[in-house]
Amino acid sequence: MGRRGENIRKRTDGRWEARAVCGPPMDGKTNYKYFYSSSYQGAKDRKKEFLLSLEAVPKPAQGFPESLPSTESAAKEAAPDTCINSPASAGNTSEDQKSPPLFSDVANAWLAAKRLSVKKSTYASYSFMVEKHLLPEFGNLAIKDVGTNRIDAFLLDKKAHGGIRGGEPLSEKTISEIKGTLNRVLRYAKSHNIIETVPESMPVSVKQTPIEILTKQEQESIEAEALSEDTHFSLGVLLCLNTGIREGELCCLQWGDFDWDAETLSINKTVYRIANKDGGTGPRTRVVVDRPKTLCSIRTIPLPSEIVPFLRERAGAASEYVVTGTRKFMEPRVCRDRYARFERRAGVAHHHFHNLRHTYATNCVEDGVNTKVLSENLGHSSVNITLQLYVHPSMGTKKAEVNKLKTFLNRGRNEKGSC
C-alpha cells in the first residue's frame, strides 16, 4: 500500500520506494529520483536527506508539477546524473527509471493549483471527490493507465454500490460530479503533457428532479402564521417568499444590507457548511461566510414598496442579522430545522426551504413580472436558467391558458352562427 501524498509505496518485490521530482518533464514524462529501502521509514529518510541537500539551490527548475514543493522540482539542477530521461541517464533503461507519474501525483497537484483559484466550497467538493472516490480507485495507478474501460467500470461500480459509508447506490448527480472531477484531473495532466489525450467515458445523464411549489392555500397559511408569530425568523420566511433569496443568503443577511430610501436589498455574501480541511482532532465540518455562488448572485433586489414600511419598523442595527436579531448569523441547518417546525405550526405539508424561492419565481411569472427582471433578481446568469429551473406554472394557470384554445365545440358554434 502506498502512503498517500508522500510519493512512497511498497513495491511487489517487498522493498519500499520513495521518489522526488527531479526537474522539468523530458519528452512529456516527469523526471524522478528514486530511493529504496527494506522499510518505509528508511525510504522516507533517504528522500528527506536528498530534499534537504537541495535547500541551498537558489533557483529550482521549472516543470510539472508546478504546485509541488520547490525543493522537489529543483532536483535536476542539484543531481542531473540521477534524473529519469536526462542526457546522463539516457543509456539506463531500467523499469524503475521509466515509471510514469501516478494518478495521485497529478490529482494532488491539480488540487493544490485549484485551492486559491476557486471558492472554498468548490475546493472542498473537489477535495472530497478526489480523496473519497478517485484516489481509492486510481491513486496507485500510473495516470497513463487510466483509460476508457477502467473509467467506465469505475462509474458503473459507483452507480451500483459506490456509497463511501454503506456501499449504497449513488445518484446520477453524484456520479456526474465524480466524473466531472476525474475529467478535470485528466485535462490538467494533458495540459502538462503527462498524457496525450483525455480518454472518453460513458455518458452520465442527470434527470431533472421535479420541484414542488407551495399552493396558494399553503402560501396563505405560511403568511398568516408568520404574521401571527412576528419573530425574527418568521420575518425571514416572509422575506424569502417575497424576494426569492437563497437560504444561505438569508442566514447571513444584515439590516445594513437594506437601503430604505432606494427600497432595495443588497446580496453580497452567503453562508454554508463545508468539510474541515485543516486537519487535527477538531470537527469534520465548519461554517464559512463567503461571496455568493456566482458573480451574478452579487446583486441588488428592488423590494415591493408595500412591504418596506413593515420591514423598516422591525429593523435592528445595521450589524444585526435579520433572522437572529443579534450579531451572530444563523447556520443553514439550523434554519432548515426551524423552518420544518414552523411548517408544522402553520399546518402545511413539509417542503424544502428552497421551495420558497421556487414559489416566488412562479408567482412573479404568473403576475406578469418581466422575465429578465426576475432572472436578475434571482441572480441567474441567463433567462433560460430562470425559465427551465425555477418557473413552474400552477394547475390553475395551466387551466386558464388551455381554456383559451378553441375546441371543436367552439368552432362548431361559430360556424353555425356565421351561416
Res 414: pLDDT: 58
Residues of the chain with pLDDT under 50: 1-4, 55-63, 65-97, 419
Q: CA-CA distance, 321 to 328, in Å (whole number)?
A: 7
pTM of the model: 0.63
Q: Measuring CA to CA, which residue among 272, 265, 267 is closest to residue 248?
A: 272
Q: CA-CA distance, 151 to 182, in Å (whole number)?
A: 9
* Average pLDDT of the chain, as a whole number: 81
Q: Measuring CA to CA, which residue among 117, 94, 116 is closest to residue 36?
A: 94
Q: CA-CA distance, 17 to 44, in Å (whole number)?
A: 8
The C-alpha cell of 414 is what? 361559430
For the chain, give the number of residues.
Answer: 419
Res 78: pLDDT: 34
The answer to whether 9 and 16 are in contact (CB under 8 A) is yes
From the CB of residue 116, how many other CB atoms can be counted at a distance below 10 Å? 8
Res 159: pLDDT: 87
